[in-house]
Amino acid sequence: MNKKIWWVVGVAVVVFIMAAVNNGGKPTENIKIAALLSMSGDASAWGENAQKAIELATEEFNQKGGINGRKIEMIYEDTGGDPKRAVAAFQKVTTIDRVIAVLGPLNQTEDAAVVPLINQNNIATIIPGYLPLQNRKDLTNPLIVWMDAELEAGRLAEHVFSQGIRTVGIIGTLDAWESTVSNAFAEKFKAVGGTVTEMETVQPDSSDMRLSATKVIASKPQAIFLGTYYQFVNSTKALSDQKYPGKLFGIEIDDYLAGETAGWANGLVFIAPDYYTNDFVQVFTAKYERAPGLPAGQSYDAANLLFSLLEKNIDRDDILELMKEFSSYNGVSGELTILPDGRPSLPTALFELKEGKVVRIGELK
C-alpha cells in the first residue's frame, strides 16, 4: 500500500513538473478580479454599460496574453445600487472568491459603505464612480476614476454665470451624488455673484415633480439647474407642462435620458466628462450594437488601469505601493489627473439635447 501511494505521488509530481516546463515554469491559474456593479434596480443602465465595457477590456487584455500567460477572470456581483448588498458582495469576493483586486461599486453611497472594508483588507480597489474626499481615509485606495462632482458642478455654475444669467432655481434629490452636485452648483453660483431663487430637493424615487417644478418656477429664475439623474425625466416633463420659458441646465445626461425626454427637453445644456475616443466608440458599438453610455468609458479605463498595475506586480502590497505613486492616466475618457488635494479631474465638455440626441457643443475647462 505504501509503495502504491508513493507511486501515485511520484506520478503527480512528474505531471506537475511537466506542466510547469510546458508553460515555462509559470503558474497557469487565472487572476481573479471582482467587479461590483449595480446591474439591477434604478441604476441598472449604468451597471449594464459598465459591465459591457469591463467585459470588453478584459477580453482584449486576455487576447494579448494576459499577465505572463495568466488570464484575468472577472467575477461580477450585482449590488442593486444598495449599500448593504455592496458590502455583502465585497465580503464574498474577498473572503470566498479571494480576488486580488476590485472594480467598483458605482454608486456613491455604496462606495462609502465599502471603504472601511477596503481599508481593513488593504485590497486594491478602483472605482469608476464618485466618492467625496471626506469619505476617503486613504486618498490612494480606492482610486477614483471619475470627475470630482464638486469641481464639475462648479465649472458649470461659472459657465452659466458667464452667459449673463444671474438667477437660477435648482431641482435635485436627496441621493448622495445628486445632493453633492446641487449644493456645489449653488455654492459656486452664489460665490461668483449669482442668486439661487429656490432649491427643491425630493426623494430619488418620488413619482410626481409637479409641485417642486411649480415652486421653482414661482421664484422666477432666469434658468433652472437640474442636479438629478433619477428625477430628470419627471422634472423636465413637469417644467415643460407648466411652460417654463427660461433656460435649462443639467449634469451628466446620457443617451437614455435624452431619448426619454425627446419631446420636451430640447435646448437643455449639460456638462459631462468629454466624450470617449472614436476608436473606443467604434469597437464598443460593433461588439454590442449600441453606443457606449455612461459610465462605459470610465469603467473601461478603470479596468485597463488596474491591468497596467498588475502587469508590473501582482503582489497585493506592491499593487498598493504602485497606487500611491499614481498621478495620471490617459484613457478613452481623456487624461485622468489626480490633483494635489487628491481629487480626480478629467476633461469636461458642454452638450445640448436636440430632438432626443446628445450633441457636443464645446469644451469646458
Comparing CA positions, the residue from 279, 277, 265, 272 lying closest to residue 294 is 272
User: At 7, which amino acid appears?
Assistant: W
Q: In whole angstroms, what is the distance from residue 337 CA to residue 287 CA?
A: 29
Q: What does the block give as the cell for 33?
A: 478580479
What pLDDT, on the 0 to 100 scale, is given for residue 161?
Answer: 98
CB 304 within 8 A of CB 61: yes
- Please give the grid coordinates belonging to residue 49: 454599460
Q: How far apart are CA 63 and CA 65, in angstroms?
A: 5
CATH tag for 31-146+295-326 (out of 3.40.630.10, 3.30.160.270, 3.40.50.2300, 3.30.70.3400): 3.40.50.2300
Per-residue pLDDT, 14: 44
pLDDT of 137 reads 86
CA–CA separation, 218 and 324 (whole Å): 50
**DSSP state, 133?**
G
- Report pLDDT for 21: 42
Quick check: do 31-146+295-326 and 149-274+349-364 share a fold? yes
Round to whole Å and give the CA distance between 362 and 365. 10
The pLDDT, as a whole number, for residue 233 is: 96
Cβ pair 119, 137 in contact under 8 A: yes
In this structure, are residues 128 and 104 in contact, taking their beta carbons and an 8 Å threshold? Answer: yes
Contacts of 84 (CB under 8 A, 6+ apart): 113
CA distance 111 to 127: 8
H helices present in the chain, as ranges: 2-22, 44-63, 83-95, 108-121, 149-162, 176-191, 210-218, 232-241, 255-260, 278-288, 296-312, 316-325
Query: pLDDT tens track of the chain, all 365 residues?
Result: 455 555 444 544 444 444 444 444 455 689 999 999 999 987 898 899 999 999 999 999 999 999 999 999 999 999 999 999 999 999 999 999 999 999 999 989 999 999 999 999 999 999 998 898 888 889 999 999 999 999 999 999 999 999 999 999 999 999 989 999 999 999 999 999 999 999 999 999 898 999 999 999 999 999 999 999 999 999 999 999 999 999 999 999 988 899 999 999 999 999 998 889 999 999 999 999 998 988 999 999 999 999 999 999 888 889 999 999 999 999 999 999 999 988 999 999 999 999 999 999 998 87
The CATH-assigned architecture of domain 149-274+349-364 is: 3-Layer(aba) Sandwich (3.40)
Rg (Cα) of the chain, in Å, rounded? 24
Please tell me the predicted confidence (pLDDT) of residue 98: 95
- Please answer whether residues 125 and 57 qualify as being in contact, where contact means their C-beta atoms are separated by less than 8 angstroms: no
Domain spans of the chain, in order of start: 31-146+295-326, 149-274+349-364
